[in-house]
Amino acid sequence: MALPETIRILVVDDHTLFRRGLMALLSREPQFEVVGDAADAGEALRRAQELQPDLILLDNHLPGVRGVDALPSLREAAPAARMLMLTVSEDEQDLADALKAGAAGYLLKTIEGDALATAIRHVMAGESVLAQEMTSKLVAAFQGASSAVRPARPQTLVTTPATPSLLGSLSPREREILRGIARGASNKEIGRELGIAETTVKIHVQHVLRKLDVSSRVQAAVLATENGLT
């Protein structure tokens, strides 16, 4: 999916100082245009309907209605917009709910500014993004490993183990790449570990996704973990 020349962003967060700082940070990127902001779900819904942004950057801890609970209404209000969670919540239930409701990614507020900009571009290119700290919790959500809750499996992700033939189609190098993906490592980190160029890792990742018949790194990570390839 080709990136638009300008990515129009709606920022939704109830903390005024954080929201304004985030808007200022995003505005430094020439490709980004912050078209509006909102402090709660109701205002976000109105602004989304009015502005029709390309991407909605959404906090989960909003007054009245959680961000994850507002996702279906926001998708109806702005059908073309991509939804990206940016929150402090590391709760696996929130993660599972967000992905099930159609969020294209789940990031934590500890993320660096340049990493956030990169994540936004990945989302707008049709990919899924996930905070590295949440990878194991995503797997726990799928496996029902939490003793507290057993979230519904997100329909947008792979929920059944890969067949042996799919995993068997991977070369030894591709299996190493897949293990890195399952750990939540970036292409740069995988390349450093394996002693290969980041661009080479990127090519391997594309081959892995194609061979496993999945469309995102998150799906590949789930398959790898469910099949013991970690």
Return the domain boundaries, the chain: 7-136, 164-226
Asked whether the whole model's pTM tops 0.85, one would answer no
State the chain's mean pLDDT as an integer: 82
Residue type, 199: T
**Tens-digit pLDDT profile for residues 100-149:** 888 888 998 888 888 889 899 988 988 888 887 777 667 666 555 433 33
| 14 vs 1: CA distance, rounded Å | 32
For range 193-220, the mean pLDDT: 84
| 9 vs 32: CA distance, rounded Å | 7
pLDDT band at 211 (very low <50, low <70, confident <90, very high): confident
Nearest C-alpha neighbor of 104 from the set 80, 88, 139: 80
* Whether CATH 1.10.3720.10 fits 7-136: no
* Choice between 195 and 140, residue whose per-residue pLDDT is larger: 195
Architecture (CATH level 2) of domain 164-226: Orthogonal Bundle (1.10)
Q: Please state the length of the chain.
A: 230
